[in-house]
Chain A
């Protein structure tokens, strides 16, 4: 489908404020769900916005005078938001182009790499360890998601996100696409950076890890980038790997519900586990990698 210019311009203008404005809701939602499973009342659903406002109003002590480290949270936030602009809604991606799926992956990866660099920039041993954990987990998770894309792309014959979705809607699920979706869901907690995979920020082990040296407005930016990243990843899983054919008018609200359900399930699942050690996280993700290898094999033989 060729994107229409008015829709593209409209989405380019409205998309960023929408993504940035709505993403903090996920924080309040996730914390409320966690709290209920803990037998607690929990914070209000607006807590994500309140936290950002509070942090933004605070002073800051900078661990590094390096301008790069000041730019990093902006880059991470921009990368995550730009990734969000490429996401399809009900098979429509106003800013879609050939290979946009790969660009989306790189943009998401870029926000993680920024986080790792931020950990290194502070010069704290916690930051160093957090950065090495972040990059190691990225090395395990990103290939899984990339291979899952590859499976869909093999079937549909394109890397364009909207066409991947439309192709799946037209042809229904196959063995390989189901396996790919399963692998993405299994790696979802790691891709979201949630427990039991939140090793890079493990409060109890690394007192905040990569973000240990950040506070005030910078920390607010990092948190915000994380919220947007959550939204994008949950959206990606819900719309690209679990597509539901529907006309646009129904598709948009349906997509919102699906994203919230996917994120809520992740937030609930998060309360069920103890944090994994690095070697344990690695072996869990290796099993997911096997699954995705099967999916690719099936896709190659046409199943």
Chain B
């Protein structure tokens, strides 16, 4: 992986600034690889340290990671508040070591709003209490999960299912007086995914909202950091998302490569760049269709999905699958894009580019559509920064944040492209950003093919050593279609990660939706505003049948659903 090193003086400045604020409470500063700075601070100094970075140096909040180090020497718990200084290509972690018994630290949410979920999650999964957090409710754990048990702790077996209290109920937020609750979900009507919004409405006017998600938490991190090996996790990471899985496997591989000191060969990095951009364009076209459907404009839905098909064909032609490309391995890629395939790939790109341009021109002249999107769902640049939103959501608020340019990975340091921004801060700007950057993606894909054509067709993987040293850390980030995907990996003593933390872009972006529903919004604006961040909830393959007469319930298995869904097809048709 390419890491563009931060200027050493800048690293020094950051350390000096934090030391000035903390004095002796700054316990250590470590720069294991260029561009990565880990600052160890005492728990009581968490807020001043974060304040020095976030307020003083204008760092961007990324995520907070809880770690259980109790099994390791001098171990207890640990919380890492991760920040990025994007202009300086520098990532800074505030490491807060905590005792093994009753770990607690001051909440940073009053300072950084976007840290709310991460701190709630650390409380649920590790039992690390954020003192002064505004929301005492659970975020991830089911309502009936026994108190005092924290599944991501290392002494919690990955397959342990404690008995749940069937009486326990979630405490929803009380609606403001005079308003009624309009529920969207728990099975979201438009996106057909598990997510519940309780919109507080006074007639048509929206006066507030409460979100509840994590209905189908799949415990992917637990599986990855307790059972699977480094290369098995790659397949699991790819399955985090059904639309942009490759960004997760790439980010994970990059994190492990950083921890192991590996660098993927150039050819592998070009292949990664190519498939990542392919994934971006198909995701943006998919989003455009859904956005059209949300505002009742099904013509857009059908046309954008129709012109997305050549891209899906191209994905299958290059990787063997329309989705879940499965081309990443730690150290490189498993599949090449040989020269023989370039001509048809370029042809498909030309088709998609031409047809997308026609669609975009038609949409830009559509006054009724623009009227539905313009000035709706406003997120100001200040709000965007404090919530830590990423991707098109932040770029539509005028902030030119793009991991591809700010923290180059894969082969993006060799690519020429523009970071598309708009400053309308609304749903229309978010649409324009996605459409604009689709064309940039096509440009990048062409550059990848140009460079792949002149490179020798070998050297796809950098050999991984038999055993990685334990307790090394790696940070991997990819600019996914929805924004920065971030993976934290700490190597373990077994042949797999000891801690693997995934932060998908929707984790930050979803937190901004209640803020976007400004006074003056109506019920009609809610679905499209939520849709405008292109949220990605985890999907679920589960169906429960209830016989009304007898009250009998039965959950259908995956195999039964599959058989049922294929029943109408001729034999061999699905081959």
A contacts, CB < 8 Å to B: 34, 37-40, 59, 61, 125-126, 128-129, 132-133, 195-196, 198-199, 202-207, 271-280
Contact = CB atoms under 8 A, between A and B. Distances in A.
Interface residues of B, number: 33
Contact of B523 (A34, A129, A195, A271): A129
Contacts of A203: 189, 296
B177 to A, nearest CB: 17
Q: Which of A39, A198, A204, A271 has the most CB of B within 10 A?
A: A204
Given A38-B298, A274-B372, A204 B180 contact: no
Contacts of B236: none
Q: Which of B201, B204, B524 has the most CB of A within 10 A?
A: B524
Contacts of A272: 299
Contacts of B203: 132
27 contacts: A38-B298, A38-B302, A39-B306, A40-B302, A59-B548, A125-B181, A125-B182, A129-B201, A129-B523, A132-B203, A196-B296, A203-B189, A204-B293, A204-B294, A205-B526, A206-B523, A271-B299, A273-B296, A273-B368, A274-B292, A274-B372, A275-B296, A275-B297, A276-B372, A277-B524, A277-B525, A280-B372
Nearest to B298: A38
A193 B406 CA distance: 50
A198 B296 CA distance: 9
Nearest to A126: B182
Q: Which of A34, A37, A195, A274 has the most CB of B within 10 A?
A: A274
Given A39-B303, A125-B183, A204-B190, A279 B522 contact: yes
A38 B304 CA distance: 10
A133 B182 CA distance: 15
A274 B302 contact: no
B371 interface: yes
Contact of B204 (A195, A278, A280): A278
B563 interface: no
Q: Which of B204, B296, B372, B527 has the most CB of A within 10 A?
A: B296
Closest 9 CB pairs of A and B: A275-B296, A38-B302, A274-B297, A274-B295, A207-B189, A274-B369, A277-B524, A125-B182, A204-B190
Nearest to A198: B296
B306 A278 contact: no
A239 B145 CA distance: 67
Nearest to B525: A277
Contacts of B292: 274
B574 interface: no
Interface string B471-510: 0000000000000000000000000000000000000000
B109 to A, nearest CB: 31
Nearest to A276: B368
A61 B549 CA distance: 12
Contacts of B183: 125
A278 B524 contact: yes
Contacts of B294: 204
Contacts of B295: 204, 274-275
B159 interface: no
A271 B524 CA distance: 19
B302 A196 contact: no
A277 B526 CA distance: 11
B368 A202 contact: no
Contact of A274 (B201, B296, B526): B296
Contacts of B368: 196, 273-274, 276
A204 B525 CA distance: 11
Contacts of B296: 195-196, 198, 202-204, 273-275
Nearest to A205: B524
B366 interface: yes
Given A38-B299, A129-B523, 18 more contacts: A38-B298, A38-B301, A39-B306, A61-B548, A126-B182, A129-B204, A196-B368, A204-B294, A205-B527, A273-B297, A274-B296, A274-B366, A274-B372, A277-B372, A277-B524, A278-B204, A278-B522, A279-B522
A272 B295 CA distance: 12
A144 to B, nearest CB: 20
A204 B301 CA distance: 13
A182 to B, nearest CB: 20
Interface in B21-45: none
Given A125-B180, A274-B372, A204 B189 contact: yes
Contacts of B201: 125, 129
A199 B524 contact: yes
A124 B177 CA distance: 19
A39 B303 CA distance: 7
A218 B548 CA distance: 19
Q: Which of A37, A59, A271, A275 has the most CB of B within 10 A?
A: A275
Q: Which of B366, B523, B526 has the most CB of A within 10 A?
A: B523
Interface string B294-335: 111111011100100000000000000000000000000000
A274 B288 CA distance: 13
A274 B298 CA distance: 8
A208 to B, nearest CB: 9
Interface string B272-301: 000000000000000000001111111101
Q: Which of B301, B306, B368 has the most CB of A within 10 A?
A: B368
Interface string B172-183: 000000001111
A199 B189 CA distance: 16
A5 B526 CA distance: 57
B388 to A, nearest CB: 29
A38 B303 contact: yes
B182 A204 contact: no
Contacts of B293: 204
Q: Which of A59, A132, A133, A277 has the most CB of B within 10 A?
A: A277
A203 B298 CA distance: 12
A59 B298 CA distance: 30
A132 B205 CA distance: 13
Interface string B354-370: 00000000000010110
Contacts of A40: 302
Interface in B441-474: none
B527 A204 contact: yes
Contacts of A273: 296-297, 368
